[in-house]
Structure 1
């Protein structure tokens, strides 16, 4: 029997060591820098300071935003910053139009911009596409012959019915693609048509081809921006742009092409709001209007789902890291962000965002892919593509090569941070207001360094007193308490660092309080086990036989106590917000790890101690008077096989 007991102890320890090794392997694999840097947990505002951002709501009419809009925006921004619920940011409304966001750690400019992005999602069929070119490319490359079917204002029409065995194939490209699960997939076409010929009915005027905004304040602001744009570029450039939009074929030879580009140079100086006021044809056809200008249009410039728009995507070559852009003319939006029920990110040969639609949205998405598939029966037609537009930028423009009846995926050369932000934007919806970053400052920890050190010192003294008392009262058994707490601390620290990188878990004073409270639950389990052990010995069993019996009786109580603590932590996490949520997460995490230590370390360690001579000594083991029994009675019990 003894070899089997030793074997069980051995494999318990091996399992625990393996779990610990895996946790710290993940810690070092996901970290960067030196060993010290890789072992640093993510600290909260009260422990390390961070960044304070002041956001100001901007309305076209200059009026104050409504209180319910501000509260809705605050909730969405807080959800974006803290998608996991454990980063513990501070997001508060200040005054009538400001929202102040305090985030732990230093934040990149790109992160701050994504934080206040409206995140208005639209799915639009591609009407026309061409690459965004530089001045050198314009003057070095002959203009292509215009396509008779290419028209910025045209509406694609399907001409065929998809076959039952249609399949999706991908063309190699670093541009993000969209796909369906499980019914099909789609990826962007590698080629783009550079031709640009407006339809005969397309108006070359300055007003957009789509219907004007209904909001009178927005219409007035657009008229003012358009007047500024005309004044900025001058009459000569404006008239040539109108002539070019009316008939691009007259500027095809080399000399006229260079003359056109030089004359239209003032358009490259226009600001985002001025570019947004131009007609769809001008935005797309004028070569001097760059994709960067289109991306910098004010938030909401292309949000109207009933308008055709011009937007750009960004393509990064994975080998050379060269960035290029493509311009798109896009049809009215057939699927909106409100049709998406959920969005999550994952990794499968690259980072991706998976989107599930609600019942109405699923039908719209299927109809849109069917329309694109029918339009693309002749290979290479731009109408075969569907652009996924987020705010002013095309995130992905896949070629639809089958009717998609499942969910959609956005894949491409994304980083983990990019897909995490994108999925959070889609999951929590678009902002009801437009915000601008007015101020971004670095803030110091709300808890000073001296106070933090004093708190840690007090915690250390308290733990030391607990350990001293454990050794005084339980003696050898106090070693079990000490080693178990050390093992729990190692596991908790490893998970703390790893989860900080994976889900953004931020350690604050509330989290530290959660870990400290979990020590009380762990201490209770020690008392239960050891007192059960004493009870077994009092009933006349030998120490060695009492250990497994005490464990069998104490195990159910320990599991019940930890289950109650874990259930309380889960409920608190689900119903609470802010620092209370962090407290609940820390308590639940520590409780789970305590159960791991109980089964894989504490009980096997007790079984190992039970086979030592010291365990049989009342003065050393800590069992005290319960071992002071009649030697004759002990001898008679030792012959009883039931007590062996």
Structure 2
């Protein structure tokens, strides 16, 4: 078998490795927070603990299956990257405790929201507290949706912020159990959401609770309640609009501004919308799940703290269950972040019909003014607030894009994850949020690092004792591997929220053996070639050709095992599998770009080829021994053939 040509251009390999390392550390020091600090897991750094309590209209504890399903969805959302290793556990028969290595409670609150999506036609829009002397509130910019396979949303002015279609306050078939001083909307919407033959037990219980709260609110408001009925009567009859009320009447309904979120929720939806003293801050303080009934018209506001757009919305004709998938991305055309929604087959038909309905409404005109009399917007409602309310200019037969408003990279990612993993089967209230200390602490982390250092030291000592000069190659290779691993975990922490836990450290420690195994395979092949009588220089290319196949096979098996473990496992085991797989990839990088070129370079040196230094001189084949003395004998230190092959 002819010998390989032998020499490789080692500078090319070293140059590629140098570029990779330079690129990694440039990203470490010049991107993100520019600090070379890996993101640590909950067990090493601590984080945030949030206790959620399931709420139900009837006050009963949820079923165990619903509670466990909610726990799984929350865990999937929080651990969207798969390697942040959150702790999400059930506690008792209604609580879920979420522990994450995250010091941002607000982001965690978003991740544990029910995330029930609904698309509702905007019947009317106004601002929450217009000045009494203002003839009409200023128009606010809302995104518009164009008709294309993947429509993009661009801002456009809302035609009118005064109610274009005055909502009706006619009571539903279900009568109120609460008496009222006015025959108008006194006992309407709270009970109206209730008893229909198709209503489930939860909706019936919620309606009953609202009716009870409404009776208390009427008693609490006293004369202000009667003033509120007068406002509704004037608006419905066309005598006034919410932004043109008499100052004395506006002062009379001021107590509505002091209601709690639960109290505001008990008011009829029309009253929530038409009374200017019912503000968005009150509406956004309602408990999660109050807008879940898709068959009822509702009032909702934009998201955020400083919002002023208040919407009266029709029934939900497209819901989250009609969405097949969701993903976040950056729109280079509009220069903003968005969330792409892909509908199911039936969902697509519903979405197209809804946009057709909005377009038709926008084309209707008021016979008195000749101006558009209906709003052509569709509100995208997530839980209890409006994410976006784009104007529909054309019928859309493709997917939908949510953008505009306050959507940025973080909120787009959170929203996509919420929709991707589905809405929670339960609504929760946050019982407590607190910072937690590391569950294992710095001492345990130091123990893990010490164990890794001991492992590396043992590998180095063994290689120096057994391979002598080649042991120096092992030390240099492990150093390069360590530098690559460190930069990788820093960047992965920034990019995909990878959190290094004690289990992850254990994965790196185990991977030391995989890396050492690659060295052993290569060096043993090299010893075999030298034993057959070849010089170190000629033995290196032959040994590498045979060793690399074994190295690739062994690392492929290790990576496959890590991938399967990562796919099937949960929690901390995922972190172990992730670091094991990462180390396997880095091992291949180091062996191919550094270890082999370095050995090839050193083999050209007479000093390295010295039997005493390289550790390759105490090899002598039986054939060589017979040629020298006639009988085979044990290898003798320093006896080596110098035959070139």
Indicate the TM-score class for this superposition, using the shorter chain for normalisation. 0.7 to 0.9
Q: How does 1:178-327 map to 2 (within 5 A)?
A: 182-196=149-163, 199=166, 202-203=169-170, 204-206=184-186, 207-208=188-189, 211-212=193-194, 214=199, 215-235=203-223, 237-248=224-235, 249-251=238-240, 256-314=245-303, 323-327=306-310
Deviations 1:217-249 (A, max 9, x none): 2121011121122223222x2222222222224
Distance in 1 between the 2:400 and 2:208 partners?
38
The equivalent of 1:392 in structure 2 is 384
Provide the rounded CA distance (Å) in 1 between the counterparts of 2:70 and 2:607.
66
Q: 1:132 aligns with which of 112, 115, 128?
A: 128
- 1:268 to partner: Cα distance: 0.5
Hey, what does 1:149 align to over in structure 2?
Answer: none
Structure 2 unpaired stretches of 5+: 171-183, 365-370, 629-638
Q: Give the equivalent residue in structure 2 for 1:152.
A: none
Write the distance in 2 (CA, Å) between the matches of 1:51 and 1:541: 63
Secondary structure of the corresponding residue to residue 624 of structure 1: coil
Aligned pairs (5 A) from 1:114-513: 114-133=110-129, 137-143=130-136, 182-196=149-163, 199=166, 202-203=169-170, 204-206=184-186, 207-208=188-189, 211-212=193-194, 214=199, 215-235=203-223, 237-248=224-235, 249-251=238-240, 256-314=245-303, 323-348=306-331, 349-377=335-363, 383-412=375-404, 413-513=406-506
Q: Alignment partner of 1:625: what SS?
A: coil
Report Cα offsets for 1:530-565 as digits up to 9, x if no partner. Answer: 111122222333322221221111111111111111
Distance 2:458 2:526 in 1: 24
- Residues in 2 aligned to 1:560 and 1:373: alpha-carbon distance in whole angstroms: 61
The answer to whether the 8 Å contact 1:131/1:192 transfers is no
Please list the CA deviations of residues 349-371 of structure 1 after superposition, one character each: whole Å capped at 9, or x if unmatched: 33222222222222222222233
Which secondary structure state, in structure 2, belongs to the residue aligned with residue 477 of structure 1?
helix
CA deviation after TM superposition for structure 1 residue 274, in Å = 1.5
Which deviates further from its counterpart, 351-360 or 366-375? 366-375
For normalisation by structure 1, the TM-score amounts to: 0.85
Which shifted more, 523-532 or 455-464?
A: 455-464
Mapped to 2, the partners of 1:471 and 1:83 lie a distance apart of 44
Check 1:491–1:172 CA distance in 2 against 1; reply closer, same or farther (3 A cut).
farther
Query: TM (normalized to structure 2)?
Result: 0.85
Residues 124 and 166, structure 2, Cα contact 8 Å, conserved in 1? no
Moved more, 243-252 or 259-268: 243-252
Q: Which moved more, 1:391-400 or 1:255-264?
A: 255-264
In structure 2, what is the Cα distance between the partners aligned to 1:508 and 1:366? Answer: 47
- Would you say the 8 A contact 2:193–2:296 is kept in 1? yes
User: Is 1:520 matched with 2:509?
Assistant: no
- Give the aligned partner of residue 58 of structure 1: 55
1:26 is paired with a residue whose SS is: helix
SS at match of 1:387: strand
Tell me the CA shift for residue 326 of structure 1: 0.9
Number of residue pairs matched by the alignment? 595
Deviations 1:130-156 (A, max 9, x none): 2333xxx513422479xxxxxxxxxxx
**Aligned mate of 2:40, from 39, 43, 48:** 43
CA displacement, residues 82-114 of structure 1 (integer Å, 9 cap, x when unaligned): 112211111111112222222224332x22422
- Deviation readout 1:471-512 (Å, 9 max, x if unpaired): 222122112211111111111111111111222211111111
Instruction: Give the Cα separation in 2 of the matches to 1:474 and 1:634.
Output: 16
- Structure 1 CA distance for aligned equivalents of residues 326 and 553 of structure 2: 36
Cα distance in 2 between the residues matched to 1:70 and 1:253: 43
Contact 2:288 2:429 in 1 (8 A): no
Among 536, 546, 550, the residue aligned to 1:557: 550
Asked if the contact 1:614–1:620 (Cα under 8 Å) also holds between the matched residues in 2, the reply is yes
- CA deviation string 1:609-631 (max 9, x = no partner): 12222222111122132379799
Q: Which moved more, 1:455-464 or 1:305-314?
A: 455-464
Mapped partners of 1:507, 1:252: distance in 2 = 59
